[in-house]
A and B are shown apart, each in its own frame.
Chain A
């Protein structure tokens, strides 16, 4: 049984179409991450699911009930906002119990649930404080707590960690993952941080320009991106792309450099393609293609190189220390033939 289902959902603001037909099926207990560049419509999609914005067309089902035209409070969802939206004039306890009070729960019932949630999130000692007296991480927890007290059908998170510093973000990421495993609830999590998406999600949905580019398990998307955009979006440092033409089973770049691809690729000769390789898959190889080292960045465990190949910059991430200098010539190859081919025109993956 699906927990939430979206059917060709569209949303326009005036002339501008922001969501261009989104369909998505979310299973019970699934953690789905919506990722995509800023402005691609992630928040809009979440607000439509929450009922804060009306759909232009299409349908939203929660637990097989059509909620497209229902107001937010009849959808049984909870949402955690990017800036937490904790009411400054209410204590942590009142903030967390807000929805229960509105629902008309009895006072001791509310207290019990709030204290239970506070226990899960380590907030017991903060219940009588005001939001203004809390640190960023604590506020984030209160915002999460406010969502979990209700035990809703669906949790929505809109970039909940983006206001925290890097270290706290990693810590809270782990906490959210643990929370999901503990509660087993369905969660939809918006982020523009692909690492967050990779580590948290059962399934990643990559969006761009109001469309879903690809969805699937994090590593499937990482290993087999459906198009050049997804390939470039997931992974850090990002995938390298070099334009070329297929010839004799390899990609010939503009200056004649031959970039390796899987051996069976000879059938594609003459086709214009985009050759893609992840920085960590590229290694020094005496039989490989040639490039000029431009920048060397030792980070301790790794060495990151910027190499100019056929006029294009190529990032190489070596899992070791290496003695090279800017200006050196270097020969490179790709480990395990881990290369990707995309059509030069539409960017779609070319299956090999």
Chain B
């Protein structure tokens, strides 16, 4: 890629195309960010009247955010954060355990079971909403944190990721530990998990974002406003009576910014590869 002998016009063409692509991706986000700091009445004005004003607000205001912070939104952020972090915590442990079993043990029905795991993440969530809701009701969990968290803990994709990683750890690691007297659980917790930081980071992120972005299931399972999560709160800005565009853009913007925090936090784990060195 970084060939210094590359012909200049090829290079220009490449960067030109990439810039256009970047613009297409970034522009809506920039517009969103800018719209959220405009006064309510000005938000759609520059669209019909395209010019510099499209990009530069005539007046910079935090009114939209102020309104947001005095409303239900902070509660929604709190709910979402709690739900997402709890899901990550349990999800990583449960799915890693399942992945470890698939990777390391031989048991009857293993292949069929693993096939089901794969099918489970191929299947659209909408297909199981109704039976799931019936189950949640039967447990008496409607309008509760359990309803939001428990169904999201087991995740076929994450089990698959962990299985692939654990299967790639040389068997000798496990066997050396067994000869040294370690129990399987000890091996899982002290050998396998410490080696799998990149997978833990990726899975944690996937579980977090799945919860942070989830909308359909929370609407179905916990419609009570006390359990409203971020995406539900965002949607509440728009209804039949009135559209609070400023609130919509400000809350969307906040949701995006908060959602990137975990990504920034764990980025460094992608760089570190812990597996090197122990095996020749």
Could you say which of B115-123, B125-133, B168-176 contacts chain A? B168-176
Provide the residues of chain A in CB contact with B172, threshold 8 Å: 81-85
The yes or no answer to B177 lying at the interface (CB within 8 A) is yes
Q: Is A182 in the interface zone, CB < 8 Å from B? A: no
Contact between A88 and B276 (Cβ–Cβ < 8 Å)? yes
Q: From known contacts A81-B172, A85-B173, infer whether A131 and B278 are also in contact, taking CB-CB under 8 Å.
A: yes
Q: Is the CB of A87 within 8 A of B278?
A: yes
A52 interfacial by beta-carbon distance below 8 Å: yes
Cβ of A83 and Cβ of B280 under 8 Å apart?
A: yes
Return chain A residues, CB-CB under 8 Å to B191.
87
Interface residues of B in 241-280 (CB under 8 A from A): 274-280
Q: A86 at the A/B interface (Cβ < 8 Å)?
A: yes
- Give the contacts of A84-141 with B (CB-CB under 8 A): 84-89, 98-99, 102-103, 130-134, 136, 139
Q: How many Å lie between the Cα of A81 and that of B175 in the bound state?
A: 9
Q: How far is the CA of A81 from the CA of B277 in the complex (A)?
A: 15
Give chain B residues whose Cβ lies under 8 Å from the Cβ of A131.
277-278
Q: Nearest-CB distance from B143 to chain A (Å)?
A: 43
The answer to whether A88 and B277 touch (CB under 8 A), given A81-B175, A102-B186, is yes
Residue A18 lies at the interface, judged by CB distance under 8 Å to chain B: no
Interface window among A70-78, A188-196, A317-325, A340-348:
A70-78
Residue B181 interfacial (CB < 8 Å): yes
How many A-B contacts are there with CB distance less than 8 Å? 83
Contact of B182 among A50, A82, A102 (CB under 8 A): A102
Q: Are B177 and A139 in contact (CB under 8 A)?
A: no
Query: B157: which A residues are within 8 A, CB to CB?
Result: none
- In the complex, which residues of chain B have a beta carbon less than 8 angstroms from the beta carbon of A47? 175
Interface check B2, CB cutoff 8 A: no
Complexed CA–CA distance, A50 and B195 (Å): 25
Q: Distance (Å) between the CB of A42 and the closest chain B CB?
A: 15
Most A C-beta atoms less than 10 A away, residue of B175, B179, B186, B275: B179
Within 8 A of A (CB), among B150-196: 170, 172-173, 175-182, 186, 191, 194-195
A242 at interface, CB cutoff 8 A:
no
Total A residues in contact with B, Cβ cutoff 8 Å:
33
Residues of B near A72 (CB, < 8 A) are: 178-179, 181
User: Does the CB pair A99–B173 fall under 8 Å?
Assistant: no
Whole-angstrom distance between the Cβ of B190 and the nearest chain A Cβ: 8
Query: Are B280 and A136 in touch, CB under 8 angstroms?
Result: yes
**B183: shortest Cβ distance to chain A, in Å?**
8
B275 contact set on A, CB distance < 8 A: 88
Residue in chain A with minimal CB distance to B195:
A89
- Nearest CB of B to A12, in Å: 15
Expressed in whole angstroms, the Cα–Cα distance for A327 and B261 within the complex equals: 79
Residue of B nearest to A164 (CB): B280
Contacts A83-B170, A85-B172, A102-B186 given; does A132 touch B277 at CB 8 Å: yes
Query: Which A residues form the contact surface with B (CB < 8 A)?
Result: 47, 50-52, 71-73, 77-79, 81-89, 98-99, 102-103, 130-134, 136, 139, 146, 150, 163
**27 A/B residue pairs, CB under 8 Å, sorted by A:** A51-B178, A51-B179, A71-B178, A73-B180, A73-B182, A79-B179, A83-B279, A84-B172, A85-B170, A85-B172, A86-B277, A87-B173, A87-B195, A87-B278, A88-B195, A88-B274, A89-B195, A89-B274, A98-B180, A99-B181, A102-B181, A102-B186, A130-B277, A132-B278, A133-B277, A134-B277, A150-B180
